[in-house]
Amino acid sequence: MRTMTAALSLVLLLAGCATKEQTKLERSYEKEKNYHATLIKTEKAQLYRDGLTKVLLTATYLNEQNASKDTAEEDERFIVGLYVDESVDNTLLNDFNLTLDGTPPKEIVPLKEKDPRLKLVSFKAPWNRFFLVTFPYTPKKRFKLIFESDAYGRKELDFAKKAKYTFTHTAF
């Protein structure tokens, strides 16, 4: 009888510890779930001059990536973060051009530092400026956000309406 009581006590003790660790792990996962989900839909580009980063662009695709949304013709939305080195002449800021496969944006809205939509962005830095950029709907499943500057060159960011690896079965 004593052996059975001791064994039962040991099982309950171990189950209690596992539950605490499991709860802690689940809380940690829930806290980071949004970060990882948006990180998958985020791309980064750097433009250089003389080997130094002069412009850093991050873009997060906001549209949902599921089959039911594929048929809806809703605009393509991104939150774009822009860092421009302080040594860059402010008149050059008008030099930048952002398109979605060559199509200009319908709307660009600057976001304030405390804007709740910035919770959808996985990479935030206090020196970045953020914009909500809306493009017309595209029926393409894969598309490129193209960032161009006469002074700093061109970078293309690859995005997809479904997970990218489903197109190639390899990571980008």
Mean of pLDDT values over 11-26: 65
Q: What is the DSSP string of 20-35?
A: HHHHHHHHHHHHHHHH
Residues 6+ apart with CB under 8 A from 25: none
Asked if residue 101 has pLDDT above 90, the reply is yes
* Strand order from edge to edge, sheet including 96-100: 96-100, 142-149, 153-160
Whether domain 42-168 has CATH 2.40.160: no
Mean pLDDT of the chain: 77
> In residues, how long is the chain?
172
Break the chain into its structural domains and give their ranges: 1-40, 42-168
Whole-number Å distance between alpha carbons of 30 and 149: 39
Asked if residue 164 has pLDDT above 90, the reply is no
Of 35, 31, 48, whose CA–CA distance to 124 is shortest? 35
- 111-145 pLDDT, tens digit each: 998 888 888 777 777 788 899 999 999 998 889 99
